[in-house]
Amino acid sequence: MFYQLKKNDHGLAYDPFKSCVVPRPIGWISTLSLDGVPNLAPYSQFQILTFDPPYVMFAANQKTDGSRKDSVVNAEQSKEFVYNMATYDLREAVNISAQEVPPDVDEFELAGVGKTPSNLVKPYRVKESPAQYECRYHQTLRLRGNGVIGTVDVVIGEVLAVHIKDEFIMPDGKLDVIRMKPVGRLGYYDYTCVESLFEMAIPGSNEELRAGMEGKAVENSENN
């Protein structure tokens, strides 16, 4: 099939657009308002941008009332945010924290998850999450869209520190992502969970390319 987005003439019962880029990582983003109110919300438009230095982004569409997401406002004002890994065991809490609620609502409490302090930034981390990034706000790219929620804020942050629960580190030095069970967003109301993996190396790759593939910032800097 072929269809044009502006015409939206796919002829299907459900719009297939988001189902064509799957699975999408979920950035479970925690922030802190200037009034000290913790905020927690999941974003399936989340990704690592680069590794040396490490940057991540999350894209937040406007609320249904046309206002900007609390995560965006808090990150811009406080200049900090935290990424928490969303897992299968935490899926219900992730879903609960996706609700639109007033800015004075603490989604940690709403979702029933614990708070644990960060080391370098003020926003709390999700205690039950197996991995977190402490991030310093870098910039926002605002893309105007159609309708009330079409406009999106792309928030970019530099990763300052990483937390990983020791029980998910294997003897070979890799993370046991099968046991972590991170969840990803599909299309419609569907999600998936990492339950298998396979390994491939780029044929003929050199030392510099391998450092990039593995995200080895130290080796990358030394090679340059």
Condensed to tens digits (0 to 9), the pLDDT of residues 119-165 reads 999 999 999 999 999 999 999 999 999 999 999 999 999 999 999 99
Confirm if 167 and 111 have CB atoms less than 8 A apart. Answer: no
Q: What is the pLDDT of residue 149?
A: 94
DSSP-derived 3-state class of residue 72 = helix
* pLDDT top residue among 161 and 214: 161
CATH superfamily of 23-193: Electron Transport, Fmn-binding Protein; Chain A (2.30.110.10)
The reported pLDDT for the residue numbered 217 is 77
**How is the chain split into domains, by residue range?**
23-193, 198-224
pTM over 0.85: yes
Give the mean pLDDT of the chain.
Answer: 95
Burial 139-158 (b: 16+ CB within 10 A, else e): ebeeeeeeeeeebbbebbbb
* DSSP single-letter state for residue 108: H
Q: Which of 5-9, 55-59, 170-174 has the lowest mean pLDDT?
A: 5-9
Tally of CB atoms within 10 A around 215: 13
